């Protein structure tokens, strides 16, 4: 159970979001605008902020920018209304860790906050040793089993945090981006399954959800022998993570650009929007079956 700060100026919208979050077994504190949110964050320990964009006194963008300075360890998830896509895009680039279109609250809100909270759960037991690393590289060949995604992301985040390359919400954002890239490689690439025939992100990664179709693909040719190859390097200059599947690839010309205003209001394609918004560079090979996520570091 996590403790959330809900920032929403509409009483009716606040009641709806509070009820949804409490259905997810979370404790929710509600405030009406960004200024009240900053005070609440300073008064008590909170795990995550869920904030509207359009608010009086201090809007969602201004709140995220202020949190990045004063509360960089607390991630923020946006709730976006149609017509505010431009502001939502700016807020994602400013430091938000996820977004939920208001017309998808019922289906996406608890899944999105669960994704962000899942990425936060890392083990810091080797932090002192890892802080002495100057460069670290991992190479994996993964079968198409979603239960491997969270441990791999946790390991990468532990190393990145231990090396003090990035931290706080920026660390969460790169973890979310990698999760989505791995999920795409396994299920869209290797198993060739569309979002309409697979469970949602949270259900696959954290709840162990499956289906007859997934199990069939995992145990039949040509899908069962395909692997996901991960080559991750963390150095003082940058974090570079390449993820390649053995599927047919996809047309990269259809790849949404950072802050794609249309995709911000769609459930499908959300992962690609987050990947492009949360990294400094997103590079696809010509075949469209490998993506490289690059995050520049400020470490000395």
Answer yes or no: do 152 and 110 share one domain. no
199-223: average pLDDT: 89
Q: What is the CATH number of the domain that holds 240?
A: 3.30.565.10
* Parent domain of 232: 127-296
User: Confidence band (pLDDT; 50, 70, 90) for 124?
Assistant: very low
pLDDT recorded at residue 255: 66
Instruction: Using a pLDDT cut of 70, give the percent of the chain over it.
Output: 90
Answer yes or no: do 114 and 135 share one domain. no
pLDDT recorded at residue 161: 86
pLDDT recorded at residue 121: 64
CA 127 – CA 49 distance, rounded (Å)? 26
198-222: average pLDDT: 89
Average pLDDT, the chain: 88
Contacts of 20 (CB under 8 A, 6+ apart): 105, 106, 109, 110
Answer yes or no: do 169 and 266 share one domain. yes
CA 54 – CA 56 distance, rounded (Å)? 7
Answer yes or no: do 229 and 95 share one domain. no
Answer yes or no: do 33 and 84 share one domain. yes
Say yes or no to pLDDT of 16 above 60: yes
**Torsion angle (degrees, nearest 10) of CA 258, 262, 267, 270:** 0
CA 255 – CA 269 distance, rounded (Å)? 9
Among the three residues 120, 139, 170, which one is the final residue of a domain in this structure? Answer: 120
Say yes or no to pLDDT of 128 above 70: no
CA 8 – CA 15 distance, rounded (Å)? 9
Answer yes or no: do 92 and 135 share one domain. no
pLDDT recorded at residue 79: 93
DSSP bridge pairs for 3: 27
pLDDT recorded at residue 258: 55
Q: Are 94 and 125 in contact (CB under 8 A)?
A: no
CA 251 – CA 264 distance, rounded (Å)? 20
Say yes or no to pLDDT of 300 above 60: no
pLDDT recorded at residue 250: 86
> Which residue bears the tokens 């570079």?
240
User: Confidence band (pLDDT; 50, 70, 90) for 267?
Assistant: low
Say yes or no to pLDDT of 30 above 80: yes
User: Confidence band (pLDDT; 50, 70, 90) for 273?
Assistant: confident
pLDDT recorded at residue 264: 56
Answer yes or no: do 157 and 272 share one domain. yes
Q: Choose the most confident range, by mean pLDDT, from 82-91, 115-124, 137-146.
A: 137-146
Instruction: Using a pLDDT cut of 90, give the percent of the chain over it.
Output: 60
**Total domains in the fold of the chain:** 2
For the chain, give the longest Cα–Cα distance.
58
135-146: average pLDDT: 93
Q: Are 74 and 170 in contact (CB under 8 A)?
A: no
Among the three residues 120, 135, 157, which one is the final residue of a domain in this structure? Answer: 120
Answer yes or no: do 191 and 82 share one domain. no
Answer yes or no: do 72 and 158 share one domain. no
Who has greater pLDDT, 80 or 1?
80
Backbone angles phi and psi of 180, in degrees to 5: -65, -40
Answer yes or no: do 220 and 181 share one domain. yes
Answer yes or no: do 143 and 235 share one domain. yes
User: Confidence band (pLDDT; 50, 70, 90) for 29?
Assistant: very high
Who has greater pLDDT, 4 or 262?
4
Answer yes or no: do 114 and 188 share one domain. no
Q: What is the CATH number of the domain that holds 103?
A: 3.40.50.2300
Among the three residues 120, 149, 164, which one is the final residue of a domain in this structure? Answer: 120
Say yes or no to pLDDT of 123 above 50: no
**Torsion angle (degrees, nearest 10) of CA 153, 156, 158, 162:** -160
CA 47 – CA 64 distance, rounded (Å)? 15
3-29: average pLDDT: 94
Lowest mean pLDDT across 5-9, 62-66, 157-161, 270-274: 270-274
User: Confidence band (pLDDT; 50, 70, 90) for 207?
Assistant: confident
């Amino acid at each position: 159970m996590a403790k959330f700060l809900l920032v929403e100026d509409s009483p009716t919208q606040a009641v709806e979001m509070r009820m949804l979050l409490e259905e997810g077994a979370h404790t929710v504190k509600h405030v009406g605008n960004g200024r009240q949110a900053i005070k609440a964050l300073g008064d008590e320990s909170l795990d995550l902020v869920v904030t509207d964009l359009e608010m009086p006194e201090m809007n969602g963008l201004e709140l995220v920018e202020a949190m990045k300075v004063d509360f960089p360890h607390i991630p923020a998830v946006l709730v976006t209304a149609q017509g505010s896509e431009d502001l939502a895009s700016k807020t994602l680039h400013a430091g938000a860790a996820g977004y939920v279109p208001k017309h998808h609250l019922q289906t996406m809100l608890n899944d999105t906050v669960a994704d962000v909270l899942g990425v936060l759960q890392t083990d810091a037991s080797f932090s002192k040793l890892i802080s002495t690393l100057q460069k670290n590289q991992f190479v994996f060949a993964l079968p198409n089993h979603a239960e491997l995604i969270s441990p791999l992301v946790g390991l990468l985040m532990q190393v990145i945090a231990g090396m003090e390359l990035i931290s706080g919400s920026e660390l969460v954002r790169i973890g979310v981006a990698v999760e989505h890239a791995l999920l795409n490689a396994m299920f869209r690439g290797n198993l060739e399954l569309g979002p309409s025939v697979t469970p949602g992100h949270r259900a696959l990664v954290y709840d162990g959800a499956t289906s007859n179709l997934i199990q069939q693909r995992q145990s039949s040719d040509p899908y069962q022998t395909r692997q996901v190859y991960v080559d991750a390097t963390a150095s003082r200059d940058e974090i570079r993570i390449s993820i390649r599947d053995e599927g047919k690839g996809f047309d990269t010309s259809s790849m949404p650009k950072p802050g794609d205003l249309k995709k911000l209001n769609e459930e499908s394609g959300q992962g690609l929007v987050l990947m492009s918004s949360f990294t400094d560079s997103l590079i696809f090979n010509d075949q469209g079956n490998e993506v490289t996520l690059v995050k520049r570091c400020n470490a000395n």
